[in-house]
Amino acid sequence: MTGSSAVPELSGTQASILAAYAELIEELGSDDVSYRVIARRAGIAERTVFRNYPTRVDLLLATAAWIETTLFAREESHSIFDIPLAIRDAMQRYDLRPELAHVVAETAMRGVSGAAPSPDRAHLERLLDAEVPSLDAAQRRAVIAALSHLDSAGTWVTFRREFGMDRRDIADAAAWAAEAVLDSIRDRVAS
Amino acid sequence: MEEPVDTATAILASAAVLLRERTFDDISYRALADEVGISERTIYRQYPTRAHLLAALSNWIEQTRFPLPPFVTVSDFRAAVHERFRAFDTLPAYAYVGARASAISPTLDIEPAYITRAIEAMLDVAAPTLNRRDQRRIAASLRFFSSAMFWARLRTGFDMDAGEICDAFDRAVDNVLAKLPDGTRAES
């Protein structure tokens, strides 16, 4: 998994809390789930949930990170030019779990107090630097930023909401956009 | 003083004031009720969930703080988006609300944003004979690179300021429009 550096190690209890909350979000939405219900679903005491996640915001951010790195985990790409394929897969996965995709998309838009909006940044930089080391700083940054933006739940939300696209269309358009970004560096691979 | 406004708008105006000193999550309905001088129940009647409040607040901020300059041509589109990104940099707390609201599960029947329609109209003029699939691919890409989400991701995830975000946006637009086949462009 590419974003694992951004996610702290979880205890077994924590993982079961986050999995329970993710399940409940899909059933009830993220607003209406009490700690009591989460504790019961995870099979633990309510105070254990509080001890691990003192506030609802703590719990939601941890859950969003967990969802992105487990349920929406990308297959590892070995080339920057494989990223469009990973994006296509990711869009299809978001589409199968719409409630969770919205949670991941929204928590990444909260600024520094939110979830990391570009968990795959370091991985993309490694791939790009290995294959196309000749880019100037501004171009390198623009390519990474654009790919990172496209490889996100925000893409799925926006294409669906603003254009009424279905799963196939979203996967197509997101991968297409990533190919367009890569067109600018396609013939600059180091020999 | 400003014009007297209806309750729903007064709530949003007060929420915007509170946003200057705390995050949206730290604005309780209780504090908001105190700020407006109404009961908490009245706020719940207007905005049954925090998602409703977030969506309405974002719309109000969009209209009052970040009006989108109209555009017809691609260069006007770029200029309009630059202006917004720079405005976002001056009021980041407000811009994050917009980015968040555009990511939540919709609370109401949502109309596509004005900018979506404007981009589609722009492409109709710039590439009138372009096939429909490529038209949607291009429109969707331009829409996503011009969004508050793009600004928010680059600011938080890449520590970029508005100038750098505008540069990344321009490069993305160049890449997307380079996909237009020869002969579809109306402009010379």
CATH architecture of A8-69: Orthogonal Bundle (1.10)
B21-56 confidence digits (pLDDT tens): 999 999 999 999 999 999 999 999 999 999 999 999
Interface test with A, best of B144, B165, B179 (most A CBs within 10 A): B144
Cβ-Cβ contacts under 8 Å, A180 against chain B: 141, 175-176, 178-179
- The answer to whether B175 contacts A113, with C-beta atoms less than 8 Å apart, is no
Structural domain spans, chain B: 7-48, 63-177
Residue that wins the pLDDT comparison between A54 and B188: A54
* CB within 8 Å: B157 and A181: no
The per-residue pLDDT for range B154-166, each reduced to its tens digit, is 999 999 999 999 9
B65 has a chain A CB within 8 A of its CB: no
Q: What average pLDDT score do residues A91-104 get?
A: 97
Fold of B7-48: Arc Repressor Mutant, subunit A (1.10.10)
CB contact under 8 A, A106 and B104: yes
Q: Is the pLDDT of residue A2 over 60?
A: no
Query: Could you report the per-residue pLDDT of A7-45, keeping only the tens digit for each?
Result: 568 999 999 999 999 999 999 987 779 999 999 999 999
Query: For residue B110, which amino acid is it?
Result: I
Task: Name residues 76-95 of chain B within 8 A of A (Cβ).
Answer: 92-93
Min Cα distance B36 → chain A (Å) is 24
ipTM: 0.93
DSSP character for B146? T
Please tell me the distance from the alpha carbon of residue B13 to that of residue B110, in angstroms, as a whole number. Answer: 22
* B25 half-sphere exposure, CB direction, 13 A CA radius: 16
Spatial neighbors of A28 by CB under 8 A, at least 6 apart, are none
Q: Tell me, what's the pLDDT at A32?
A: 76
Task: Give B 34-53 residues with CB within 8 A of chain A.
Answer: 49-51
List the single residue in A117, A159, A169 with the smallest CB-CB distance to B157: A117
Give B3 to chain A, closest Cα distance, Å.
32
Q: Would the CB atoms of B140 and A141 count as touching at under 8 Å?
A: no
- Please give the residue of chain B at the shortest CA–CA distance from A60: B25
Q: Check: CB of residue B87 under 8 Å from CB of residue B66.
A: yes
Cα A106 to Cα A46, A65, B74, B172, distances in angstroms: 26, 12, 29, 23
pLDDT band at B184 (very low <50, low <70, confident <90, very high): confident
Q: Quick one: pLDDT band at residue B3, thresholds 50, 70, 90?
A: low
Which amino acid makes up residue B107?
Answer: T
Query: CATH 1.10.10.60 occupies which residues in chain A?
Result: 8-69
A91 chain-B contacts, CB cut-off 8 A: none
Exposed (0-12), middle (13-18) or buried (19+): which is A46, by Cβ within 10 Å? middle
Mean pLDDT of chain A: 93
Q: Is the pLDDT of residue B187 over 50?
A: yes
A4 confidence band (pLDDT: 50, 70, 90): very low
Does residue A58 have a pLDDT over 70?
A: yes
Q: Which residues of A touch B50 (CB under 8 A)?
A: 31
Model confidence at B4: pLDDT above 90: no
Structure confidence at residue B182 (pLDDT):
79
Q: What was the pLDDT predicted at A7?
A: 59
What letters, b where the CB count within 10 A reaches 16 and e where it falls short, cover B91-128? bebbbbbbbbbbbbbebeeeeebebbebbbebbeebbe
A148 and B153: CB-CB below 8 Å? yes
Write the pLDDT tens digit of every residue in A105-136.
999 999 998 999 999 999 999 999 999 999 99
Q: What span, in angstroms and rounded, lies between the C-alpha atoms of B65 and A109?
A: 19
